[in-house]
């Protein structure tokens, strides 16, 4: 009997070891190794285990290094108000007794869906209270606030408080809700940028132009044509072999910064790890039926031969997204501005498209030259949404309106048709303190 039990145990153990060994080292699908669902921010790359687990036995330090590798630039740009160095200071050691804030994974926990909030956080609602419980004694405005209201919209953000610092509130409190001059910063003309990114000349593949006259006609009036990028610039390898369907590898030979931003966002993050692009069907967000099988890539938004930025800034988005906010765009004030600009009734820099807010312009330095380019990370300023205030909302609206609007869930759902129904008193408190 004992031999039977031991024999059975040995067979089962061998089978399990073989199965998981094969899954770990050979199989493409490693879903069996997951200990739980990844958060909404990382579920796309949960099959690329080594993206985060760079060392099998590295522990917290290894995971921390992985977090920083992806998010260090974002935190630096945000002027992180709670940097790691604040908590490695021995004078603040007592603050680590509740949550060890030296490590990202103390709050951003993966594979534990039962204790993870929608944004991938495991923060208890009273987290701020442990370090700031005496704030009511310092500020009269905070005396009657509940302990779980610190991170409410329009108040404090753990990492990024640039739009909520008291000095900034005071400097920008007097503008009307719509500025007298409401214009969007324009990106540099495509021809201006193209001159900086001309690829190595390759054979012209003249026969391809003859085979596809309509495509060649579209290309002739595109930004690629004005930048001297012909068929070979995209459809050829370094070995001068023809590529029928160029991928992101070809795009990044000229558009390195755009590709880097794209791969940092949800649309392209899989491509950064050499995985197949995500399709809407794999997401939990609402998408239109006809878009579910479309794999994300540069060509998902950019028609390759026409360089149609108008399509990329609106139609490409609305062709997939089926949430309330997206469906309300056309009838919203923003949508009407865009339609009027397309019809020639408004200047182009007064139009507001999906890309205006979710892919804002930013100043960059390219080879010593300052240029304005589009941030291709579509979710860069979505969480927390107050990150939109400075680079997006305040180009047209006042600070006060922007804070109130982004705190109004219903207003967000109807794509900002109307004015905010609630008022966030952050500016009022700042003014009152300055007068005392």
pLDDT at site 192: 41
Report how far residue 55's alpha carbon sits from residue 46's, in angstroms, rounded to the nearest whole number: 16
Residue with the bigger pLDDT between 183 and 39: it is 39
Helices then strands, each counted (H, E), the chain:
22, 2
Is the predicted pLDDT of residue 313 greater than 70, yes or no? yes
pLDDT at site 292: 96
* Most trustworthy range by pLDDT among 112-121, 191-200, 346-355: 346-355
Report how far residue 367's alpha carbon sits from residue 280's, in angstroms, rounded to the nearest whole number: 37
pLDDT in tens, 391-401: 899 999 999 99
Residue with the bigger pLDDT between 196 and 243: it is 243
Residue with the bigger pLDDT between 78 and 326: it is 326
Where residue 332 falls (left for φ over 0; alpha for ψ -120 to 50; beta otherwise) is beta
pLDDT at site 342: 93
Task: Please report, in angstroms and rounded to a whole number, the separation of the first and last CA atoms in the chain.
Answer: 87
For residues 160 and 83, the answer to whether their CB atoms sit within 8 Å is no
What pLDDT band is residue 204 in, cutting at 50, 70 and 90? low
pLDDT at site 197: 46
Question: What is the reported pTM?
Answer: 0.87
Give the DSSP per-residue string, 338-361: HHHHHTTSS-GGG---HHHHHS-E
pLDDT at site 203: 53
pLDDT at site 63: 94
For residues 166 and 352, the answer to whether their CB atoms sit within 8 Å is no
What pLDDT band is residue 194 in, cutting at 50, 70 and 90? very low
Is the predicted pLDDT of residue 92 greater than 80, yes or no? yes
Where residue 274 falls (left for φ over 0; alpha for ψ -120 to 50; beta otherwise) is left
For residues 301 and 416, the answer to whether their CB atoms sit within 8 Å is no
For residues 215 and 221, the answer to whether their CB atoms sit within 8 Å is no
| Sequence ranges of the domains in the chain | 98-150, 190-197+255-413
* Most trustworthy range by pLDDT among 54-63, 76-85, 224-233: 76-85
Output phi, psi for 323, to 5 deg.
-85, 170
Q: Quickly count: other Cβ atoms within 10 Å of residue 54's Cβ.
A: 13
For residues 158 and 325, the answer to whether their CB atoms sit within 8 Å is no
What pLDDT band is residue 425 in, cutting at 50, 70 and 90? very high
Report how far residue 309's alpha carbon sits from residue 201's, in angstroms, rounded to the nearest whole number: 25
Closest to 326 measured CA to CA, from 416, 246, 256, 245: 416
pLDDT exceeding 90 applies to what percent of the chain? Answer: 44
Residue with the bigger pLDDT between 53 and 288: it is 288
Is the predicted pLDDT of residue 9 greater than 80, yes or no? no
Q: Among 2-6, 411-415, 425-429, which stretch is predicted with the lowest mean pLDDT?
A: 2-6
Label the pairing between strands 361-366 and 369-374.
Answer: antiparallel
pLDDT in tens, 262-278: 999 999 999 999 999 99
């Amino acid at each position: 009997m004992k031999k039977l039990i031991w024999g059975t145990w040995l067979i089962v153990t061998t089978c399990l070891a073989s199965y998981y060994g094969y899954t770990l080292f050979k199989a493409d699908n490693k879903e069996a190794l997951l200990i739980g669902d990844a958060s909404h921010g990382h579920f796309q790359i949960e099959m690329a285990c080594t993206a985060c687990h760079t060392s099998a036995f590295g522990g917290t330090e290894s995971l921390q290094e992985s977090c920083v590798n992806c998010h260090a630039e974002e935190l630096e740009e945000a002027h992180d108000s709670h940097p790691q160095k604040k908590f490695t200071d021995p004078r603040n050691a007592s603050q680590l007794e509740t949550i060890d804030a030296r490590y990202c994974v103390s709050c951003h926990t993966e594979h534990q869906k039962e204790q993870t909030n929608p944004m991938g956080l495991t923060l208890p609602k009273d987290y701020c209270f442990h370090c700031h419980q005496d704030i009511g004694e310092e500020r009269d405005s905070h005396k009657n606030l509940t302990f779980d209201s610190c991170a409410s919209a329009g108040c404090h953000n753990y990492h990024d408080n640039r739009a909520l610092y008291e000095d900034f509130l005071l400097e920008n409190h007097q503008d009307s809700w719509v500025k007298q001059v409401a214009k969007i910063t324009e990106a540099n003309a495509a021809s201006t940028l193209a001159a900086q990114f001309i690829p190595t000349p390759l054979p012209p593949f003249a026969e391809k132009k003859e085979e596809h006259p309509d495509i060649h006609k579209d290309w002739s009036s595109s930004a690629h044509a004005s930048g001297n990028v012909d068929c070979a610039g995209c459809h050829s390898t370094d070995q001068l072999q023809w590529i029928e369907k160029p991928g992101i590898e070809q795009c990044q030979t000229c558009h390195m910064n755009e590709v880097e931003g794209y791969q940092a966002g949800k649309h392209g993050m899989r491509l950064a790890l050499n995985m197949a692009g995500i399709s809407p069907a794999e997401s939990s967000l609402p998408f239109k039926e006809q878009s579910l099988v479309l794999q994300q890539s540069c060509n998902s938004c950019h028609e390759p031969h026409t360089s149609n930025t108008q399509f990329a800034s609106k139609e490409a988005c609305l062709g997939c997204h089926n949430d309330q906010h997206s469906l309300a765009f056309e009838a919203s004030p923003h949508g009407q501005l865009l339609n009027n600009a397309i019809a020639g009734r408004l200047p182009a820099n007064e139009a507001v498209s999906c890309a205006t807010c979710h892919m804002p312009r930013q100043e960059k330095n390219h080879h010593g030259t300052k240029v304005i380019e589009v941030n291709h990370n579509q979710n860069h300023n979505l969480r927390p949404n107050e990150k939109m205030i400075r680079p997006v909302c305040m180009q047209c609206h006042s600070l006060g309106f922007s804070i109130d609007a982004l705190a109004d869930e219903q207003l967000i759902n109807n794509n900002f048709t109307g004015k905010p129904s609630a008022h966030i008193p952050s500016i009022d408190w700042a003014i009152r303190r300055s007068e005392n």
